[in-house]
């Protein structure tokens, strides 16, 4: 069943036509990856979904509802969590406060604590650093915190923008493991990556975006062995 | 010379603390708005001034009906503070909504010029209304706490002269401290305070956490302006006479205090305010002594702005400026 569907989305930054008729679909329970090189429009796709930028035309259907022009703070309430590119941890909030921000819409303190325990289960390292300022964490820790913060929203759809960026291979490995684990427990995931090889390995399906257009799509394992994909992104 | 300076020290400290508390709270308004929008809200000094007028107008009305005599001064004070805070809080929120929000994505300079425009507008509106109602835009309110209390500092050491304090001093100080402690608690310990800090640090990401950024910005303006307006009331109570232009210089000094404490830093603004208040009173009392009469007490203002310039040159991030430890 389709959880998220983009229909012919066109997004502009002033005169720059960043998304040129993007259509894609994410089904419930899937890991879908969107791969492409620098400036292809991957982040813009996620920003358009979460409402940070408004598309000029096209439709975004989530869970049967039209969320095309929904502002980001409302999109977040519908169960879409967006882990932005570059992690964007609140640098001068403590790690604990960063997590609490993820659960901003939750009133019940007990629920917040339960969710936090769940985050510690995935990222035990966060638990040891609760009182530290977010900005003083290492890159890998910040990425874990950014994902943990998104998990505090208990999203139905988790969108990750280049979680592997700038991280050591072993940390990337860990993070992709956790993405897989989250998915196996039922979370739907839309994963944006330049690291196409690793993304395609865990993804059920993938889309390839090039200068604002989807140029290819298919099963993760098929794209992984596709000649063109190998040449352009896996070389 | 040292002896002369020491003689007046107790009085300087008392007066400086009172004035400093006023600066501190007005500085909070500058620093909160700057922290969240990177906007120097020049109209904030005028919010303070408007608060002084609203408060005085309420007190004069009470007095006119003869209520003031039958009401304990403290009750009148609390009533006036609450009403004035709400009025100026809404005013600040309205200004943000009408004048600043449409310019949210415009170059900073344009918003800054708008803020200066709002300043003049408020001065003129208050002046117009005051003249209309009163025939004169200089207003003297009824005094609520007029007693003088002598403090026999000389009994501690004969170096010091005795100090004398209007009893309103304690009122100003206590109310100011309550406001600062409450704000500090709100910002650091409550959910909406945390949202405020989050929005100040990264507005886009805060929105992704389901925070309504416009609401948080409006709240920031409300709180800053409510505190500023209430401080206007305290000022009117302490110093008696007000005019529509008191917000200008005072606003600049409070802004200096905010810069001194590291603009955007709330505790820094409190500290900066107190420091500038004390230094200013120190200068007023001692400049003529130290300079052997060359510089009169009126040079005290130059003093505050000299501090501003020195801070901007040598420590532009202020005494407690944010240290950049952020990793990208
Ligand atoms: N705020 C902006 N203003 C103007 N142009 C922008 C803006 N953000 C992105 N663009 C442009 O839109 C296009 C798509 O950018 P986008 O950030 O979506 O790429 P990306 O695929 O995420 O790239 P990367 O892998 O480098 O993160 C690029 O040409 C970029 O220059
Ligand atoms: Mg990107």
| Residue B326 pLDDT | 35
Distance from CA of B210 to the nearest CA of A (A): 4
Residues B194, A52: C-beta atoms closer than 8 Å: no
Q: What is the pLDDT of residue B322?
A: 58
**Closest residue by Cα to residue A218 from A229, A210, A232:** A229
Is A85 touching B (CB cutoff 8 A)? no
Report the pLDDT value the prediction gives residue B324, as an integer from 0 to 100: 40
pTM value? 0.91
Mean per-residue pLDDT, B109-136: 92
Give the closest ligand to the alpha carbon of residue A41: 1
The ligand whose atoms approach the alpha carbon of A49 most closely is 1
What residue segments make up the domains of chain A, in order of their start?
2-87+155-234
Tens digits of per-residue pLDDT, B238-254? 888 999 999 999 999 99
**CATH assignment at residue B307:** 1.10.3470
**Residue B9 forms part of a structural domain:** yes
Q: How far apart are CA A54 and CA A68, in angstroms?
A: 8
Instruction: Judge whether A165 is closer than 8 Å to chain B, CB to CB.
Output: no
Look at residue B319 and tell me if it is in a domain: no
B323 within domain boundaries: no
Residue B52: name the closest of B173, B139, B143 by CA: B139
Closest-CA residue, ligand 1 atom 3, reads: A13
Residue A175 and residue A198 in contact, taking contact as beta carbons nearer than 8 Å = no
Query: Contact A71/B328, CB-based, under 8 Å?
Result: no
pLDDT at A14 over 80: yes
Closest CA to B103 of B95, B111, B92, B94: B111
Residue B99 has pLDDT above 90, yes or no: yes
Nearest beta carbon to residue B201 from set A52, A91, A139: A91
Percent of chain A with pLDDT over 70: 99
What spacing in Å lies between the alpha carbon of A47 and ligand 2's midpoint?
A: 10
pLDDT at position A235 is 63
CATH of domain A2-87+155-234: 3.40.50.300
Share of chain A above pLDDT 90, in %: 91
Question: Alpha-carbon distance A47 to A162, whole Å?
Answer: 13
Q: Residue B61 falls within a domain, yes or no?
A: yes
Q: Are the C-beta atoms of B218 and B64 separated by less than 8 Å?
A: no
Cross-chain residue pair A92–B322, CB shorter than 8 Å: yes
If one counts the domains in chain B, the total is 1
Q: What distance in angstroms lies between residue A161's CA and the mean position of ligand 2's atoms?
A: 7
Which of chain B's residues have a Cβ under 8 Å away from the Cβ of A135? Answer: 325-327
Let me know if residue B65 belongs to a domain: yes
Q: B138 lies in a domain?
A: yes
Interface test with A, best of B36, B193, B327 (most A CBs within 10 A): B327
A83 CA to centre of ligand 2 in angstroms: 12
Q: Which of A72, A104, A137 comes nearest B195 by C-beta?
A: A104
**Which residues have C-beta atoms less than 6 Å from ligand 1?**
A 13, 16, 18, 36, 38-44, 85, 194
Contacts of A91 in chain B (CB under 8 A): 201, 325-327
Distance CA A172, CA A74 (A): 31
| Span A54-93, pLDDT tens digits | 999 999 999 999 999 999 999 999 999 999 999 999 999 9
Q: Which A residues, 88 through 117, put their C-beta within 8 Å of a C-beta on chain B?
A: 88, 90-93, 97, 100-102, 104-105
User: What b-and-e string marks burial along B237-264, b requiring 16 or more CB atoms within 10 Å of the CB?
Assistant: bbbbebbbbbbbebbbbbbbbbbbbbbb
Containing structural domain, residue B127: 2-314
Relative to the CA of A85, which ligand 1 atom is closest? 27
Split at pLDDT 50, 70, 90, the class of B297 is: confident
Residue B151: pLDDT above 80?
no
In the structure, ligand 2 is a single-atom ion and the residues with CB under 5 Å from it are A 43, 85
* In the predicted structure, residue B51 carries a pLDDT above the cut 50: yes
pLDDT digits (tens, 9 = 90+) for B23-38: 999 999 999 999 888 8
User: Mean of the per-residue pLDDT values for chain A?
Assistant: 94
Distance CA B210, CA A153 (A): 9
- CA within 13 Å, CB half, B189: 6
Amino acid B317: pLDDT: 82
Give A-chain residues touching B205 at CB under 8 angstroms.
Answer: 84, 88, 90
């Amino acid at each position: 069943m389709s959880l998220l569907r983009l229909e012919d989305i066109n997004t502009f930054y002033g005169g720059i036509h960043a998304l040129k008729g993007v259509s894609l679909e994410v089904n419930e329970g899937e890991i879908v990856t969107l791969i492409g090189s620098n400036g292809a429009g991957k982040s813009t796709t996620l920003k358009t979904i979460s409402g940070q930028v408004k598309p000029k035309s096209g439709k975004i259907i989530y869970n049967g509802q039209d969320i095309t022009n929904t502002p980001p703070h409302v999109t977040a309430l519908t169960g879409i969590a967006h882990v932005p590119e570059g992690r964007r941890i609140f640098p001068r909030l403590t790690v604990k406060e960063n997590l609490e921000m993820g659960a901003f819409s939750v009133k019940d303190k007990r629920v917040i604590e339960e969710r936090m325990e769940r985050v510690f289960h995935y990222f035990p390292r966060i638990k040891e650093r609760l009182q530290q300022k977010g900005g003083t964490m290492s890159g890998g820790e910040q990425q874990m915190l950014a994902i943990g913060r998104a998990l505090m929203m208990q999203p139905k759809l988790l969108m990750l923008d280049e979680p592997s960026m700038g991280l050591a291979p072993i940390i990337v490995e860990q993070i992709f493991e956790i993405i897989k684990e989250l998915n196996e427990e039922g979370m739907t995931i839309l994963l944006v990556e330049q690291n196409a090889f690793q993304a395609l390995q865990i993804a059920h399906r993938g889309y390839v975006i090039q200068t604002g257009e989807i140029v290819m799509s298919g099963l993760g394992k098929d794209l992984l062995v596709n000649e063109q994909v190998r040449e352009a992104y896996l070389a | 010379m040292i002896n002369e300076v020491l003689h007046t020290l107790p009085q300087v400290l008392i007066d400086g603390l009172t004035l400093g508390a006023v600066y501190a709270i007005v500085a909070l308004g500058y620093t909160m708005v700057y922290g969240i929008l990177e906007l120097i809200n020049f109209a904030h000094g005028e919010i303070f001034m408007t608060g002084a007028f609203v408060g005085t107008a309420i007190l004069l009305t009470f007095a006119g009906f003869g209520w003031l005599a039958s009401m304990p001064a403290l009750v009148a004070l609390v009533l006036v503070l609450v009403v004035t805070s709400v009025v100026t809080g809404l005013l600040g929120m309205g200004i943000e909504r009408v004048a600043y929000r449409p310019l949210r994505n415009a170059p900073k300079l344009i918003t800054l010029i708008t803020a200066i425009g709002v300043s003049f507008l408020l001065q003129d509106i208050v002046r117009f209304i005051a003249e209309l109602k009163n025939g004169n835009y200089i207003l003297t309110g009824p005094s609520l706490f007029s007693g003088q209390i002598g403090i026999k500092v000389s009994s501690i050491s004969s170096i010091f002269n005795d100090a004398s304090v209007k009893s309103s001093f304690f009122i100003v100080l206590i109310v100011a401290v309550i406001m600062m402690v409450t704000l500090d608690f709100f910002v650091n310990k409550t959910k909406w305070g945390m949202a405020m800090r989050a929005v100040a640090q990264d507005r886009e990401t805060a929105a992704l956490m389901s925070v309504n950024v416009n609401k948080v910005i409006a709240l920031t303006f409300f709180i800053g302006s409510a505190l500023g307006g209430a401080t206007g009331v305290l000022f009117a109570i302490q110093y008696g006479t007000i005019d529509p232009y008191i917000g200008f210089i005072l606003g600049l000094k409070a802004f200096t205090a905010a810069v001194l404490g590291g603009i955007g830093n709330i505790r820094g603004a409190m500290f900066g305010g107190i420091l500038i208040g004390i230094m200013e009173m120190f200068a007023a009392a001692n400049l003529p002594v130290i300079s052997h009469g060359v510089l009169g007490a009126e040079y005290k203002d130059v003093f505050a702005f000299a501090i501003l310039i020195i801070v901007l040159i040598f420590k532009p991030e202020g005494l407690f400026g944010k240290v950049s430890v952020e990793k990208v």
